[in-house]
Structure 1
């Protein structure tokens, strides 16, 4: 088995696991006091800075590093059957890698900075923290247009070249369309994109770990 394809399969499965871990963490364990005053909010952030920073690193930076491997592996798989579409999809994939990693770095550096500022001016620190949060959401958290375009275009290329199973490619088209729809600020689209992409990453990961002959099975 091609080592890049195997690495792409493993990292695709890890991407799905990171998505699931993020949903569990923020849905079950993270209880940010949104209704509290600035001082209480920063006390909570200070007490949970390490775990929050680690989660941000895994959810954005590590996710982006794994994503780079997946983007390259999928491109290698598609480039012979759909040379043009595979190149276009890879461009959006690499852009998404950069945006996701940048989001994580901005979030962690920003958190450290506002915690220091909050010691003297919690109200101003809260304004800056909200601004940082909007930036993170805009480039890599709540806006999934670039990631959606990557999945949509590569899925169309895979359908055209009969690469991967047809069902997986149709799911990819759905994921891509939903990702593009996140341009509209509705939380349902972001959540639906995440859930659907968990399934898609699992499908891609399992498929890429199979023998080469299985990639063209419809």
Structure 2
């Protein structure tokens, strides 16, 4: 059990690291370049010049995140199931669903972007149209809203509050972050995705350190 707590703690810290890498690259490179402005010509040109970087970015923020989310979901279920079995099980299911969605998003993006780069050599207009389609699927699965992720964090935090498993402030932070994620389904509140992301980074780091410290004890 202690080994599982330790593995879960490391998984949470890795999850936080993927979010941090994603935010750093987004604010230092993608936003200044105009890649996220949905201008197909500008975005595809950037993609062609930075394909390796985009591949690594998608690998980190989607695929690695999704893999370790499965581990963290199981570790949290192990801690919560004795006191809140129903909430813990439902949270774990949504954790698995979120992991599947983000992994699929990363796979679609990396495979699709490779096709876009190859197509761009002979038919830039077709490459731009394909990029738009791929971005729509990628965002629909893993980036356009945070409903599933928000629900997972909210359920985990609610279960922890109920059985007093983690520090109360940590659990309330999870509740706030989860609600912010759920509200991104409303288009005019999509900016709450940033609050969800930043809150989740703090939540993951805190819960990871708590699980590691607790496993040593």
Aligned length: 214
Q: Secondary structure at the match of 1:80?
A: coil
Q: Does 1:192 align with 2:195?
A: yes
The answer to whether structure 1 residue 12 and structure 2 residue 15 are counterparts is no
Residue in 2 aligned with 1:208?
A: 211
Contact 2:62 2:102 (C-alpha < 8 Å) held by counterparts: yes
Q: Does the aligned pair in 2 maintain the 1:67–1:97 contact within 8 Å?
A: yes
- Structure-2 residue corresponding to 1:24: 24
Whole-angstrom CA distance in 2 between matches of 1:194 and 1:8: 20
Identify the residue that residue 108 of structure 2 maps to in structure 1.
106
After superposition, the Cα gap between the structure-2 partners of 1:143 and 1:36, relative to the gap in structure 1 and judged at 3 Å, is: closer
TM-score, scaled relative to structure 2: 0.92
Distance in 2 (CA, whole Å) between partners of 1:41 and 1:151 is: 32
Distance 2:50 2:211 in 1: 38
C-alpha contact (below 8 Å) 1:39/1:118 kept by paired residues: no
- Deviation per CA, 1:82-113, whole angstroms, max 9, x where unpaired? 01110001010000000010010000001001
- SS of 2:83 mapped into structure 1: coil
Distance in 2, matches of 1:90 and 1:33, equals 37
Cα displacement (A) at 1:33: 4.3
More displaced 10-residue stretch of structure 1: 133-142 or 89-98: 133-142
Q: Which runs of 5+ in 1 are unaligned?
A: none
Q: Distance in 1 between matches of 2:175 and 2:167?
A: 13
| Cα offset, 1:32, TM superposition | 3.2
Runs of 4+ in 1 over 2 A off after TM superposition: 29-44, 211-214
TM-score (ref. length: structure 1): 0.91
Q: Deviations over 1:168-203 (max 9, x none)?
A: 111111111011011023441111110110111011
1:115 match: 117
Which structure has more helix as a fraction of its residues? 2
Q: Which runs of 5+ in 2 are unaligned?
A: none
**Contact 1:38–1:122 under 8 Å retained in 2:** no
Question: Structure 1 residues 39, 5: CA separation in 2 closer, same or farther (over 3 Å shift)?
Answer: same
- Taking a change above 3 Å as real, the CA distance of residues 91 and 23 of structure 1, as seen in their structure-2 partners, is same
Counterpart of 1:64? 66
Kept in 2, the 8 Å contact 1:72–1:90? The answer is yes
RMSD: 2.0
